Structure 1
Amino acid sequence: MSSAQTLLRRAQFLPLLLGGLYGVVLLLATVPWVQRELTYLHWIRFPFFPKYDAPHAYGLAPFKTRNFAISTPDGETLGAWHVLPNSYYMKQAPFPPQSDLSEDVFANAFGARPTVLYFHGNAATRAAPHRVRTYAALSSVLDLNVVAVDYRGFADSSGEPSEEGLKVDARAAYDWIAKQVKAAGKGVPEKQIILMGHSLGTGVASALTGLLADDRIVPKALVLITPFSSIPDLLSSFYLFGVIPLLSPLGHFPSIQNFFKSLISVRFNSVEALSRTLAPTLIVHTKADKVVPHSHSAAIFESLVAPNGTEAGIPKPFVLDYKGWGTLRISNPRGRQVIWWEGDFGGHDEVGWAEGTMDLIADIAKLNIPSDGPSYISL
């Protein structure tokens, strides 16, 4: 038998081999421990050899950021950073600071400017480069306090991640900030707090917004960067490491796909959580996103604008097309402002700190917009 014939015979078994490997992946995906490890990727602790107590080592201004810890009701300790708003930081004497600023300086900052509570995506830590760039933009461009938290099991935080655990972490971080805002004499805390999540963090931020709504608390704004509607829905179109499809090959067999979706223990149902809040909401996504398809943002936007389909009395979203940048959709269902920017360009980890994103955050949270000046919404 020739070598060509031998190769041809072996090639006949390739579909069986690939099918078998895919079956193994599916079976592994039903194991809760495997789901947890692949959902959070918390064991990827980048940057390596971290210096959490020296945030300026990662590009933040000298002594502008404090490293501290937040305790949760169930006994975990969360590593966190507090980045000062730029205007407040520049008032420190001497400037630039020559050493660590006092705790009182950071405590009083909560009375100077609003605060963003930032929830990052899976893998790595609060010191990851694209996350640091986001903190810097929020602090410098929008002049905000930024509190960035590592969930349990991430970075230097204790414990192991879980959906309920991350919700506890999120509420603990919010309550800590609310306490600081109140102590700084800034009035009603929720009017000074913006929730912002990226990727996995959008599920956390959405869940927290729903929990706060149950307590009749409405934050100043909610910002969702590259969000997903729910983890099971995301897995229907997700490629692990950008290569291995999970549930998408089962799309031709809806009942089988739904069966495997029902076995997903980590759910983060953002659509359901967001249905409970009236917080002004900004959704940012790009068509070029290779991790989370931008169709998820479309689903979230539609669920917020018309949860029951086409509702009577709710006008169609106002649409603005910016050639070469993207499409902006604006709606005000039931008095709640919802903005969705669908960008033409930008990667999954880059849109969070983009200038256009900062402008949109300023719009949704009513920040730094001159009374006689234009905004994206008013154009």
Structure 2
Amino acid sequence: MPALQPIFTKAYWVLASIGIAWATFILLLINPTIQRHSLYAHKINTNFWHNVSNPEEFGFAKGQVQPFWLDTADGEKLFCWHVLPLDVYLENEHELVMAATTGEVAEELKGTLGEKLLRRNGESRVVVNFHGNAGHLVQGWRPSTYRSIAGIPQTHLLTCDYRGFGLSTLNNVPHIPTETGLITDAISLVSYIQTDLKHPSTRTVLLGQSLGTAVTAATALYFADPTSANLPKDIVHPDSHAKGKAFEGFAGIVLVAPFRDLPSLLKTYRIGGFLPILRPLLGYPRILNWISAYIIDTWPTLLRLQSLLSHSLSTPHQSLHMTLLHARNDGDISFRESESLFAPLQSLMLAEEGTSATEERRSIHGEERVRRGAFAYKKVEDAKGERTVELEVVRFGGHNEVVGWTQVSLAVRRAFERKSLRPGLDVE
């Protein structure tokens, strides 16, 4: 037994060192600058060896993607992509290939060949994609999302890097991404689509993943109710937004791996599915609450979705079709976050007369797997079918990869075609 003492001693100091390092990291997060750098991780990207201005480098056909700059309402320049659907590309392949200029970025989308193809088709549809934190718009699994959406007929995809991400500028104080800044970027893009490109919101789907779901929720609320108390007061409004006609709602809102709000998320969030942030403090509520009080950008998605739904219910002409989708094996954000988002929205809907609710939990592996949430589908719908909220928990896909999988592209298709999921047997 005495021979084991050196081993126990070394193990003790290793664990103590890990604990001290973790505690130091948590205390450093109290600093606003360090906190935002850690949250947005905008400096972590592969721009050193990837040329995001050359879409062919990421598996796209020549001329299928048009990189362009977008001016935001507060003077930032965002680097963006316009991805053409494959059916449109195939019909115009020769013209697109001849017009393609590798490595060049258009000053704006308007006037480009891709934009002309979008506008001349009266049945064209647009998916606006908001990615999560870290990296740039084509880092990691993100290109697979664009390729998946490009397979949907007549469906164009537009996506931008937020300020400070990738090649996008970061000129405004405090010269670091903020909640207000990212929301301003998002509403600038959607406003540009609606006003400059003259594309209606009723043929537009907002798609967000991870942090992008919080951006999506805030953006959807802004266009439904720009004066909402649940939006930051210092958002810079696009000049053209107030001139538009009454907002009729988006074709759909698809949130992949969403969360209720940042303080709640950090209690269970694990970096890379492994390293916890505040989870070790769950047994120490006073310390946990003290640290949580220092979180600057709280991203209250649940409050914003409740406001969005309430506003839609009180506005006769404003439809709302929302899908929450989460992989059960998401190691970063638990699928319980999506369930916690859905429950209050369902209660809000069920308070209205004529609302119906549906729930499916299926598995060929027995009741235990069902209780664990191997597969789940829930839906709540108003009497006229003008407002629906759906929750789909799929079994695989993890945190990042799932957004490029079939389940997400199907959710987008259903949003455009106003069809609901009809769950079948959950088989392997």
User: What is the aligned partner in structure 1 of residue 421 from structure 2?
Assistant: 376
Q: Does 1:288 align with 2:329?
A: yes
Contact 2:45/2:139 (8 A) holds in 1: no
Q: Which runs of 5+ in 1 are unaligned?
A: 370-374
Q: TM-score, normalised by structure 2?
A: 0.78
Residue in structure 1 matching 2:296, options 265, 268, 293: 265
**C-alpha distance in structure 2 between counterparts of 1:5 and 1:49, whole Å:** 49
Shift of 1:228: 1.2
Residue in structure 2 matching 1:134, options 122, 134, 145: 145
Residue in structure 1 matching 2:377, options 310, 324, 328: 328
Q: Does 1:354 align with 2:405?
A: yes
Q: Does 1:153 align with 2:164?
A: yes
Residue type at the aligned position of 1:55: P
**C-alpha distance in structure 2 between counterparts of 1:36 and 1:353, whole Å:** 27
259-268 or 322-331, larger mean C-alpha shift? 322-331
Contact 1:58/1:129 (8 A) holds in 2: no
**C-alpha distance in structure 2 between counterparts of 1:234 and 1:119, whole Å:** 19
Residue type at the aligned position of 1:361: V
Residue in structure 1 matching 2:260, options 229, 232, 249: 229
User: What is the aligned partner in structure 2 of residue 41 from structure 1?
Assistant: 41
**DSSP-derived class of the 2:157 partner:** strand
Number of aligned positions between the proteins = 367
**C-alpha distance in structure 1 between counterparts of 2:60 and 2:3, whole Å:** 61
Shift of 1:129: 4.3
Change (3 A) 1:269 1:90: same
**DSSP-derived class of the 2:297 partner:** coil
Contact 2:47/2:166 (8 A) holds in 1: no
**C-alpha distance in structure 2 between counterparts of 1:88 and 1:312, whole Å:** 42
Q: Does 1:67 align with 2:75?
A: no
345-354 or 72-81, larger mean C-alpha shift? 345-354
Change (3 A) 1:243 1:114: same
Change (3 A) 1:376 1:142: farther
Contact 2:125/2:155 (8 A) holds in 1: yes
User: What is the aligned partner in structure 2 of residue 298 from structure 1?
Assistant: 339
Q: Does 1:204 align with 2:215?
A: yes
Change (3 A) 1:93 1:316: closer
User: What is the aligned partner in structure 2 of residue 372 from structure 1?
Assistant: none
1:87-143 CA-to-partner distances (Å, cap 9, x unmatched) read 222221527724418944222233321111111111111122411111111111354
Q: TM-score, normalised by structure 1?
A: 0.88
User: What is the aligned partner in structure 1 of residue 238 from structure 2?
Assistant: none
**C-alpha distance in structure 2 between counterparts of 1:276 and 1:266, whole Å:** 19
126-135 or 279-288, larger mean C-alpha shift? 126-135
**C-alpha distance in structure 2 between counterparts of 1:83 and 1:241, whole Å:** 29
Change (3 A) 1:337 1:377: farther
Contact 2:205/2:415 (8 A) holds in 1: no
Change (3 A) 1:129 1:246: closer
Shift of 1:18: 4.3
Shift of 1:322: 5.0
273-282 or 204-213, larger mean C-alpha shift? 273-282
Aligned residue runs from structure 1 range 16-165, under 5 A: 16-46=16-46, 48-92=48-92, 94=94, 97-100=97-100, 103-111=111-119, 112=121, 113-159=124-170, 160-165=176-181
* Percent of matched pairs sharing the same residue: 25
User: What is the aligned partner in structure 1 of residue 188 from structure 2?
Assistant: 172
Residue type at the aligned position of 1:317: A
Shift of 1:154: 0.5
Residue in structure 2 matching 1:363, options 391, 409, 414: 414
Residue type at the aligned position of 1:228: F
Shift of 1:50: 2.6
1:212-240 CA-to-partner distances (Å, cap 9, x unmatched) read 12146322211101111111111110123
Residue type at the aligned position of 1:349: N
User: What is the aligned partner in structure 1 of residue 230 from structure 2?
Assistant: none
Change (3 A) 1:179 1:255: same
Aligned CA RMSD, in angstroms, stands at: 2.7
**DSSP-derived class of the 1:267 partner:** coil
**C-alpha distance in structure 1 between counterparts of 2:5 and 2:89, whole Å:** 73
